[in-house]
């Protein structure tokens, strides 16, 4: 018996208590009575009547893409079928709630024609990513035309133009979408049992069509190339909000306890830690790290920084003048629009002065054992006290001015841009102290560009860890205390 089998048998009797699921369902029913169900964004409510789900699974071999206008700026794209007698094995997909068919293997796609200057640049998220030096791009996402395809419609908002086409005898729909950062196109094309979503920006409709005409498809091998997601599942995912996970801290809430117990400058505080600063069991004693923010300073230029560690990001290039002085942050505020009857609209543009904030932070190993790979992760938070508690002003800046979102020439996320201690051993990024002996202290100098009008609200978390999670804001320092 292998180790794996032994361990599996030793853990196999760990089960949640009987009645756990029933209790959860009771809590859900209580929730429903109190607040009702909240449905996504305004655009989804407006589109809801136009998105029809359900129906009988059909075995079909002929498909046509069909668009329907909704309001002034939204379109639903669905598949119409010609009913034929062709047996297909179907199954109930518990993840989607639909009766559908097995996905096909991903196709191998070759583009025989590309717009001038474009080359293939595969990424982690898609194998078919073509781009040029100006940032114009075309991406292809293939899905399987499954038997549930005619039961779903994809809802697209912010649409300024669309038309149904035939490309090489295959049904297609071309769509132009107005987004926050410019115009985007989609071309949905049915080919060889697949629905291809061809999308991108900076390419004319004529070139998009010519690109699509030149595509060659060959069905791949499931074991080698993987499976192409079913169209019905892809539509389900696309019909709700953006794909990024939102955690508590992305909504901007900061626990009151965290703010009210903030440490001051020069105050050393201790955290349970060991290598890589992952929270250890409270039963583990003696493994601690002491942190102290020694000092904080503001400046109008970057002359105090070591050039070896100054970032070369767009933010810093936009913010720092050639002589090292700081410029301004140009911020534009927009109303979102509902994407159905209204589009995003610019409401206000302002120029905000910039400051360089530097902090000197000491990390000391208090334990009896050496620590390896100690995380350094300074995070600045602009915290505002409101009627509802403490919130991240930097997350809510646009809302505080009555707008839905903003676009800034210098966009800050609070994470340290500059730090002068770098790991030579880490494979997970350079922001680690490789080794701390018992009693040893390492001093790190960190720096951030900040909006001048947010300076008074700033707190520093010198040990911000993990993903964007409120738990990582523990032990913050009031840098003006």
Partner 1 sequence: MFTTEHFTYLADKYMDMIFRLAFSYLKNQADADDVTQNVLLSLYRREKPFHDSGHLKSWLIRVTVNECKKIWRSPWRRTEDIADYAEKMPFEEKRYSDLFQAIMGLDVKYRAVIVLYYYEGYSIPEIANLLNIPGGTVGTRLARAREKLKDTLTEAYCYD
Nearest residue (CB) to partner 1, 174 versus 231: 231
Rg of the chain taking only CA atoms, in angstroms: 27
Minimum Å distance from CB 182 to partner 1? 24
C-alpha 148/C-alpha 59 separation (Å) is: 9
Nearer to partner 1, 21 or 49 (CB): 21
Which residues fall within 8 angstroms of residue 225, CB to CB, at 6 or more apart?
105, 106, 108
Task: Enter the DSSP assignment of 475.
Answer: S
Cα 178 from chain centre: 20
CA 408 to CA 354: how far, in whole Å? 12
CB-based contact 450:465 (threshold 8 Å): no
Do residues 231 and 147 lie in contact, with contact meaning Cβ atoms separated by under 8 Å?
no
Which H or E run contains 442?
Answer: strand 441-451
Element (H, E) at 223: helix 222-225
Q: Collapsing DSSP states into helix, strand and coil, what is residue 434?
A: strand
**Smallest distance from partner 1 to CB 177, Å:** 19
Are 154 and 141 in contact by the 8 Å Cβ rule? The answer is no
Give the Cα separation of 25 and 2 in Å (integer): 39
17 or 56, CB closer to partner 1?
A: 17
106, 105, 98, 101: which is closest to 88 by C-alpha? 101
Instruction: Report the C-alpha gap between 81 and 62 in whole angstroms.
Output: 6
CB of residue 170 to partner 1, shortest distance in Å: 27
User: Smallest distance, Å, CB 458 to partner 1?
Assistant: 25
Least Cβ distance, residue 374 to partner 1 (angstroms): 12
Helix (H, G, I), strand (E, B) or coil at 400: helix
Q: How far is the CB of 147 from partner 1 (least distance, A)?
A: 19
CB of residue 13 to partner 1, shortest distance in Å: 4
Nearer residue to partner 1 within complex by CB, 55 or 402: 55
Q: How far is the CB of 267 from partner 1 (least distance, A)?
A: 21
Taking the complex as a whole, how short is the minimal distance between the CB of residue 94 and partner 1, in angstroms?
A: 4
Residues forming contacts to partner 1 in the complex (CB under 8 A) are: 1-4, 6-11, 13-17, 20-21, 23-25, 27-28, 31, 38, 40, 94-95, 97, 229, 233, 236-237, 240-246, 274-276, 278-284, 373, 426-428, 465-467, 469, 471
Nearer to partner 1, 386 or 467 (CB): 467
Nearer to partner 1, 284 or 298 (CB): 284
Can you tell me which residue has the tokens 């620590």?
371
407, 438 contact by CB (below 8 A): no
Residue tagged 């297609």 (tokens):
172
In a 3-state reduction of DSSP, which class is residue 454? helix
CB atoms within 10 A of CB 97: 12
**CB-nearer residue toward partner 1: 134 or 283:** 283
Least CB distance from residue 372 to partner 1, whole Å? 9
Kindly give, in sequence order, each residue whose CB lies less than 8 Å from that of residue 251, ignoring residues fewer than 6 positions away.
395
Q: Which is nearer to partner 1, 280 or 409 (CB)?
A: 280
Nearer CB in complex with partner 1: 112/424: 424
6 or 304: CB nearest partner 1: 6
Q: Are 43 and 51 in contact (CB under 8 A)?
A: no
């Amino acid at each position: 018996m292998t180790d794996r089998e032994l361990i599996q048998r030793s853990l196999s009797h760990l089960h949640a208590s009987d009645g756990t699921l029933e209790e959860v369902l009771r809590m859900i029913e209580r929730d429903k009575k109190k607040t009702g169900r909240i449905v996504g964004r305004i655009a989804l409510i407006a589109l809801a009547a136009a998105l029809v789900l359900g129906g009988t699974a059909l075995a079909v071999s002929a498909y046509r893409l069909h668009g329907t206008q909704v309001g002034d700026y939204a379109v639903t794209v669905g598949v119409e079928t010609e009913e034929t007698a062709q047996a297909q094995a179907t199954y109930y997909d518990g993840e989607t709630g639909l009766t559908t068919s097995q996905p096909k293997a991903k196709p191998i796609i070759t583009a025989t024609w590309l717009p001038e200057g474009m080359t293939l640049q595969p990424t982690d998220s898609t194998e078919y990513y073509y781009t040029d030096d100006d940032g114009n791009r075309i991406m292809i996402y293939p899905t399987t035309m499954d038997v549930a395809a005619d039961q779903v419609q994809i809802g697209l908002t912010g649409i300024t133009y669309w038309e149904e086409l035939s490309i090489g005898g295959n049904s297609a729909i071309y769509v132009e979408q107005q987004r926050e950062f410019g115009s985007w196109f989609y071309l949905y094309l049915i080919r060889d049992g697949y629905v291809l979503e061809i999308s991108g920006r900076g390419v004319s409709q004529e070139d998009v069509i010519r690109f699509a005409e030149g595509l060659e498809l060959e069905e791949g091998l499931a074991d080698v190339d993987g499976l192409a997601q079913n169209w019905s599942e892809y539509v389900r995912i696309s019909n709700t909000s953006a794909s990024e996970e939102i955690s508590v801290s992305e909504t901007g809430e900061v626990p009151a306890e965290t703010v009210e117990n903030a440490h001051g400058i020069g105050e050393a505080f201790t955290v349970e830690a060991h290598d890589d600063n992952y929270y250890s069991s409270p039963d583990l004693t003696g493994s601690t790290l002491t942190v102290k923010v020694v000092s904080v300073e503001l400046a109008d230029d970057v002359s105090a920084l070591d050039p070896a560690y100054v970032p070369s990001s767009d933010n810093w290039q936009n913010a720092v003048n050639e002589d090292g002085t700081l410029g301004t942050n140009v911020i534009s505020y927009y109303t979102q629009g509902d994407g159905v009857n209204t589009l995003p609209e610019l409401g206000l543009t302002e120029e905000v002065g910039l400051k360089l904030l530097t902090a000197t932070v000491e990390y000391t190993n208090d334990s009896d054992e050496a620590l390896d790979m100690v995380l350094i992760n300074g995070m600045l938070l602009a915290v505002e006290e409101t009627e509802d508690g403490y919130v991240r002003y930097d997350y809510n800046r646009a809302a505080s001015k009555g707008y839905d979102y903003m676009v800034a020439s210098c966009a800050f996320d609070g994470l340290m841009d500059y730090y002068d201690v770098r790991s030579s051993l880490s494979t997970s990024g350079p922001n680690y102290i490789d080794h701390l002996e018992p009693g040893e202290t390492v001093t790190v100098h960190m720096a951030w560009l900040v909006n001048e009008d947010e300076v008074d609200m700033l707190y520093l978390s010198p040990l911000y860890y993990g993903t964007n999670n409120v738990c990582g804001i523990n032990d913050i320092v009031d840098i003006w205390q």
